[in-house]
Amino acid sequence: MGSAAGKASDYDAGKQALACQSVLGKKLWLPRAVYSAVPFFYLVCAICALLTTLYIADWFWLVPHYLLISFACVHMAILVFRPRRKRDPEPPTSP
C-alpha cells in the first residue's frame, strides 16, 4: 500500500529547480543609460589596456596580454553595438 504523503510532487520538484537557478540564467534589465553605455565602456577599457602597454617597459611579458585584452574589448564593443544600431532606426529629420 503506497502513500503519497512521503513523496515529493512534480510541482515541488519544479519549484525547487526554479529556486536553484543561478543568477546567470535569469534576465537582467539594465537602466537605459547603462544599457546604451555598454559598448562605450568596452571601448574605454580597450583604450586603457592599449595605453597601459606604454607604461610597462620593465614587464615586457605583459604587453601581449594587454594587447589581447584590448583586441577582445574592441571586438565585444563591435558585437554589442552593431545589432543595436540595426535594431534602433534613426529618428526622422525635419525639413
Segment 41-51, tens digit of pLDDT: 999 999 999 99
CA distance 87 to 95: 24
Which segment of 2-6, 22-26, 80-84, 87-91 scores lowest on mean pLDDT? 2-6
Q: Is 77 helix (H, G, I), strand (E, B) or coil?
A: helix
Tell me: pLDDT of 11 over 70. no
| Domain ranges within the chain, ordered by starting residue | 30-87
Q: What distances in angstroms separate CA 14 from CA 4, 17, 25, 94, one per listed residue?
A: 17, 5, 16, 54
pLDDT band at 26 (very low <50, low <70, confident <90, very high): confident
Q: Enter the pTM of the model.
A: 0.60
